[in-house]
């Protein structure tokens, strides 16, 4: 696999930042961090625990499975999404209890439904602009 | 400090809201300021106004930053201190609160607070991105979440949990357009039917065009002073008796309950306690109907009705002009318009008119106590103020 350059802290650990979160997405991994002091699961990763202010947070891989809590079909998109419109976005409650916003990609003719089971998948990075981050998205389980 | 006056409004001004072609922020603000100066002949702006607080969401639409200094200069008020405050759509609510705090601190006696935004020259793409700035860029905007889509997520959750119906959302738009049709400064002074609302095109399901507020140009301002000296300037000041502000997560996904906007409840609790006023005491309120669902949830968070009852509450007619608590007599953001940075003090302007009996065809007879609720983003900021005619 191609070497990915993560920003690291003074102990050479991968720093808990948004950019590193998306770099893991580029490797096909949905990652969160857990606070070593209070145990809180933090997603998206932050360099400091919002609960106890510890900066000792360790990366853990999430299952990428979850349920759709709410969704919307977007008909008036921002410019970067114009070619995809209408597309579905939603909030997914992951098996680990934390939630993520993201696109929900369903097959043609298929409908999104609150409560439906989803799994994470990943896009390759867009070619231009900032930030150059690979997006995660969600698909219904038991489908390609 | 329960129930005492924190500051007094001695004058107020509002520009026309709408598509103000050929006018930029500075000129739009001047038209609001001119009304406020003319309304209060005993005020000598150059001598009396000691500080300026101006709300504006983004400098990007006119490539003009440093709005505090700009407005002080164009008002001929140099060298008084002037700052711009930014809290998304709650920017001028924040300016109002900053003005109240400045007076309460004893540092200054009289200040001007206000807000301005120039938006109608933006393309739909640019306006969509402009408004989305108030959400979590890296997690929400990056995945194509627009501002209407975020409120659509809230609406769907509310509809599912509390059986809130599209017709109830539409009823908010119908009511606010009815009120706005009586407001000569409103962006769209036209009544709409429930069928029009229900048949309008979908922007982000389940929200339709008529569930969304307007993209407008406009400015608003208030002159505030120490309560003890207010009568030097006017026989009819309006007193600010409560102020509350609260923050919530920048990302909607981080909230446990998507059917609530807890920052409103937190800000309201602080303001109610300070004012020694409860929801039943209110005669009139301006709430932040950036989307119809936001007004419905606002009813619940302000305690005008119970949790989950916002939909039936709008249908009950209690927030109509002749109801128990008329809400958004100005037409709200839906009909009066929503130049985002101007909205907070524009709400206070309407309450000032109502409590001084100057609201014309939309006057709530004998209104004594009013409330404003100003929202930033999808509730990441909430600001609530309570106003009284008599102390
Ligand atoms: Zn912790």
Closest residue by Cα to residue B89 from B303, B291, B386? B291
Cβ within 8 Å of residue B334, ≥6 positions away = B172, B173, B176, B177, B180, B212, B213, B214, B289, B292, B328
What one-character DSSP code corresponds to residue B135? S
pLDDT at residue A126 greater than cutoff 70: no
Per-residue pLDDT at A143 = 53
Residues of A in contact with B146 (CB under 8 A): 74, 76-78
3-class DSSP assignment, residue A21:
helix
How many C-beta atoms surround the C-beta of residue B184 within 10 A?
Answer: 8
Closest residue by Cα to residue B60 from B135, B146, B127? B127
Residue of chain A with shortest Cα separation from B132: A78
A124 CB-contact burial (10 Å; exposed 0-12 / middle 13-18 / buried 19+): exposed
pLDDT 10s digits, B71-81 = 999 999 999 99
CATH of B145-212+240-388, one of 3.40.640.10, 3.40.50.300, 3.40.47.10, 3.90.550.10: 3.40.47.10
Instruction: Tell me if B149 and A70 make a contact (CB, 8 A cut-off).
Output: no
This prediction has a pTM of 0.97
Per-residue pLDDT at B156 = 98
Residues of A in contact with B156 (CB under 8 A): 70-72, 114
Residues of B in contact with A94 (CB under 8 A): none
pLDDT at residue A124 greater than cutoff 80: no
3-class DSSP assignment, residue B216:
coil
Tell me the pLDDT of chain A averaged across its residues: 92
Out of A69, A78, A103, the one facing B132 most closely (by C-beta) is A78
Q: Helix (H) and strand (E) counts for chain B?
A: 14, 11
pLDDT at residue A1 greater than cutoff 70: no
- The reply to whether omega before B108 is within 30° of 0 (cis) is no
Measured CA to CA, the distance from residue B47 to residue B322 in angstroms comes to 43
- Report residue A125's pLDDT band, with 50, 70 and 90 as the boundaries: low
Tens-level pLDDT at each residue, chain B (391 residues)? 578 999 999 999 999 999 999 999 999 999 999 999 999 999 999 999 999 999 999 988 899 999 999 999 999 999 999 999 999 999 999 999 999 999 999 999 999 999 999 999 999 989 988 898 999 999 999 999 999 999 999 999 999 999 999 999 999 999 999 999 999 999 999 999 999 999 999 999 999 999 999 999 999 999 999 999 999 999 999 999 999 999 999 999 999 999 999 999 999 999 999 999 999 999 999 999 999 999 999 999 999 999 999 999 999 999 999 999 999 999 999 999 999 999 999 999 999 999 999 999 999 999 999 999 999 999 999 999 999 999 9
Cβ within 8 Å of residue B201, ≥6 positions away = A75, B208, B209
Per-residue pLDDT at B1 = 56
Contact B251, B140 (CB under 8 A): yes
Q: Do the domains B145-212+240-388 and B7-122+216-238 match in fold?
A: yes
Contact A25, A135 (CB under 8 A): yes
Tell me the catalytic residues of B. Answer: 89, 338
In chain A, domain spans? 18-61, 65-140
ipTM for the predicted complex comes to: 0.95
Measured CA to CA, the distance from residue B201 to residue B196 in angstroms comes to 10
pLDDT 10s digits, A92-112 = 999 999 999 999 999 988 899
Looking at domain B7-122+216-238, its CATH architecture is 3-Layer(aba) Sandwich (3.40)
Per-residue pLDDT at A4 = 73
Per-residue pLDDT at A5 = 84
Cβ within 8 Å of residue B2, ≥6 positions away = B273, B274, B275, B276
pLDDT at residue A128 greater than cutoff 80: no
pLDDT at residue A131 greater than cutoff 80: no
Out of B143, B157, B203, the one facing A89 most closely (by C-beta) is B143
3-class DSSP assignment, residue A87:
strand
In chain B, domain spans? 7-122+216-238, 145-212+240-388
Please give the helix or strand (H or E) that residue A8 lies within, else none: none
A8 CB-contact burial (10 Å; exposed 0-12 / middle 13-18 / buried 19+): exposed
From residue B22, how far is each of B121, B123, B376 by CA, in Å? 10, 16, 28
How many C-beta atoms surround the C-beta of residue A13 within 10 A?
Answer: 13
């Amino acid at each position: 696999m191609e070497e990915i350059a993560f920003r690291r802290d003074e102990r050479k650990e991968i720093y808990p930042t948004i950019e590193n979160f998306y770099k893991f997405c580029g490797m096909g991994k949905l990652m969160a961090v857990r606070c070593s002091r209070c145990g809180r699961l933090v997603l998206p990763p932050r360099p400091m625990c919002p609960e106890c202010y510890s900066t000792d947070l360790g990366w853990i891989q999430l299952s990428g499975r979850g349920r759709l809590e709410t969704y919307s079909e977007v008909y008036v998109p921002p410019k970067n999404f114009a070619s995809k419109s209408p597309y579905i976005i939603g909030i997914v409650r992951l098996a680990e209890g934390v939630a993520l916003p993201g696109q929900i990609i369903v097959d043609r003719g298929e409908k999104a439904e609150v409560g439906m089971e989803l799994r994470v998948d990943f896009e390759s990075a867009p070619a231009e602009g900032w930030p150059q981050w690979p997006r995660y998205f969600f698909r219904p389980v038991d489908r390609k | 400090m329960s129930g005492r006056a924190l500051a007094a409004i001695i004058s107020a001004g509002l520009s026309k809201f709408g598509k103000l072609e050929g006018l930029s922020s500075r000129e739009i603000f001047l038209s609001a300021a001119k009304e406020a100066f003319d309304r209060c002949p005993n005020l000598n702006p150059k001598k009396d106004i000691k500080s300026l607080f101006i709300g504006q969401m983004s400098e990007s639409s006119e490539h003009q930053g440093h709005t505090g200094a700009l407005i002080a200069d164009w008002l001929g008020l140099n060298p008084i201190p002037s700052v711009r405050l930014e809290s998304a759509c709650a920017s001028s609510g924040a300016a109002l609160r900053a003005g109240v705090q400045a007076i309460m601190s004893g540092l200054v006696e009289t200040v001007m607070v206000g807000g301005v935004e120039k938006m109608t020259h933006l393309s739909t793409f640019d306006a969509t991105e402009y408004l989305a700035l108030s959400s979590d860029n890296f997690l929400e905007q990056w995945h194509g979440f627009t501002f209407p889509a975020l409120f659509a997520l809230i609406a769907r959750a509310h509809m599912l949990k509390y059986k809130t119906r599209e017709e109830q959302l539409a009823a908010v738009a119908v009511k606010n357009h009815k009120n706005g049709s009586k407001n000569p400064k409103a962006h769209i002074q036209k009544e709409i039917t429930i069928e029009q609302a229900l048949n309008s095109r979908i922007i982000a399901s389940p929200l339709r065009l008529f569930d969304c507020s307007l993209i407008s140009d406009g400015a608003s301002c208030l002159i505030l002073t120490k309560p003890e000296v207010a009568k030097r300037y006017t026989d009819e000041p309006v007193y600010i008796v409560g102020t509350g502000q609260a923050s919530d997560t920048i990302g909607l996904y981080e909230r446990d309950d998507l059917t609530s906007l807890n920052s409103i409840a937190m800000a309201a609790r602080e303001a109610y306690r300070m004012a020694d006023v409860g929801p039943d005491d209110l005669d009139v309120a301006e709430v932040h109907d950036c989307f119809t669902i936001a007004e419905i949830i606002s009813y619940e968070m302000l305690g005008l009705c119970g949790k989950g009852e916002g939909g039936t509450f709008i249908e009950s007619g209690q927030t109509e002009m002749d109801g128990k608590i008329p809400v958004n007599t100005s037409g709200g953001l839906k009909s009066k318009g929503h130049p985002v940075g101007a909205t907070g003090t524009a709400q206070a302007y309407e309450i000032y008119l109502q409590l001084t009996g100057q609201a014309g065809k939309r006057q709530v007879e004998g209104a004594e106590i009013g409330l404003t609720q100003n929202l930033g983003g999808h509730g990441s900021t909430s600001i609530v103020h309570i106003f009284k005619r008599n102390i």
